[in-house]
A = this chain, B = another copy of it.
Amino acid sequence: MARTLHDLLAAFARHGGTPDGGVRRLAASAEDGAARDLLAAEIRRRGLGLAVDPIGNMFAMAGLVPSVREAVIVGSHLDSQPTGGRYDGTYGVLAGLLAVEAVAARAAAAPHAARRNLVLANWTNEEGARFQPSLTGSSVYAGTLPGPAAGDLVDGEGVRLAAALDAIGYRGEAPPSFEPARYVELHVEQGSRLEAGGIDIGVVTGAWAARKTSLVFHGEPSHTGPMPMERRRDALRAAARAIDLHYREIETSGTGAHASAARITVFPNSPNVTPSRVQVWFEFRHEDEAIACTLGDRFLAGAKSAVEPLGVGIEIAADERRGAAALDPHGAALALATARDLGFSAVSMKTVAGHDALALQRRVPSSLMFVPSRGGLSHNAAEFTDEAALDKGLAVLVELLWRMVTEAR
């Protein structure tokens, strides 16, 4: 089974593979479509049925107990960042596929042991690289994002997500008919705590809070040459000042918060026209939601007064607050016990990054496990986890899913 996992990872890395060994597989792109086709083939090859919902989430059901509607879902996402690595969500989908196969075989050998079914899921646009916000498919499934609104999200070129899904043939009909009992996700850490501690498995108990605020800076176009400096209303000058302020405030806050401003659009973006409209996507992350929000509030007030003397106005285009969500405690305890029962070292930890499991916890008890990631590098072609570490994660996943489909509670 182990060999199969690495063969599969290599096969999927070819869809959107970049010369530096990374992956560029934006949600609902042609590359994503090709990876989805390969997943669909692997699903059918294992005799599983495939369903696709209207936001493109893919579900493959192993009917361990045909009379029961209840199912444990395992999964992650195939989409990547423009500078993605080959593990990230793909590892969770492929380990999930093999775990479903292994658990189904075990169930067949032990009739009456399974009390519920098992479903593999591939969630649409987890990354939020092409369409914002991220965690799109899992949020729709969880009921926190209306499906039509998600379909209407547009990328930087004005393409609707629904149209992009249509183009690759993955805008489906309706959600499948199972009733979700639990969700489990396996992922690479994207941090270096497990590697630094020599630990095999991280069991995630909850997530940092995040505040994601997108600001539009409104200036006025003018010629960058003759227009007197004091009469310009330069939106990029204002945005640069705000970005600089943003990082200085995070540093001086001493809170240990993480922050970023990683996406910017500039209009008209010509060297000879003072920018008139600039949008920047800011993020504040902290374990404590109150601190993430306070930092955001303080920044907004500071940014407004910092750019006002430049004649530039600020409009809040989006202001999303993600609470410091806790994942299901029973699932976490079960995962920790399972890893240790198999002889692996395991710790409980928080995640800073968002994951589909966090979105799904709003609807169904959810669990998330990490394996080590070299140097904590992620969203980077050099992302790497060795085969032995990946295999340990898969082994824990198989045993955990077996316990979840068989446990009485």
Contacts and interface: CB of A to CB of B under 8 A. Distances in A.
Interface of A: 81-83, 127-129, 132, 134, 156, 189-191, 208, 210, 212, 220-229, 231, 234, 236-237, 239-241, 243-244, 247, 250-251, 258-264, 266-276, 281, 283, 285, 351-354, 376-381
A260 B274 contact: yes
A274 B222 CA distance: 31
Contact of A272 (B227, B243, B262): B262
Nearest to A22: B221
Contact of A226 (B234, B272, B353): B353
B226 A351 contact: yes
Given A226-B351, A351-B226, A378-B226, A83 B268 contact: yes
A376 B226 contact: yes
B258 A224 contact: yes
A368 to B, nearest CB: 13
Contact of A376 (B227, B258, B376): B227
B269 A223 contact: no
Given A82-B268, A127-B270, A226-B376, A275 B258 contact: no
Nearest to A227: B376
20 contacts: A81-B270, A82-B269, A129-B268, A132-B271, A156-B269, A190-B225, A191-B226, A223-B353, A224-B262, A224-B283, A224-B379, A225-B258, A227-B376, A228-B258, A229-B259, A236-B262, A236-B264, A262-B272, A262-B273, A264-B264
Nearest to A275: B262
Nearest to A378: B223
B378 A227 contact: yes
Contacts of A285: 225
Contacts of A380: 220-222
Residue from the set A81, A132, A272, A273 with the largest chain B CB neighbour count within 10 Å: A272
A191 B227 CA distance: 6
Shortest Cβ-Cβ A-B pairs, 10 listed: A82-B268, A240-B243, A225-B353, A224-B260, A191-B226, A129-B270, A226-B352, A83-B221, A240-B240, A271-B281
A294 to B, nearest CB: 18
Contacts of A259: 229
Contacts of A129: 268, 270-273
Residue from the set A250, A267, A268, A376 with the largest chain B CB neighbour count within 10 Å: A268
Given A222-B377, A224-B260, A274-B379, 10 more contacts: A81-B270, A81-B273, A189-B226, A221-B381, A223-B378, A224-B262, A226-B353, A226-B378, A236-B262, A271-B281
Nearest to A375: B231
Contacts of A272: 81, 127-129, 134, 262, 353, 379
Nearest to A241: B244
Contacts of A243: 236-237, 240
Given A268-B129, A352-B226, A376-B227, A274 B250 contact: no
A91 to B, nearest CB: 15
B229 A237 contact: no
Nearest to A259: B229
A135 to B, nearest CB: 11
A353 B165 CA distance: 47
Contacts of A237: 243-244, 247, 261
A306 to B, nearest CB: 10
A263 B266 contact: yes
Contacts of A128: 270-272
B222 A240 contact: no
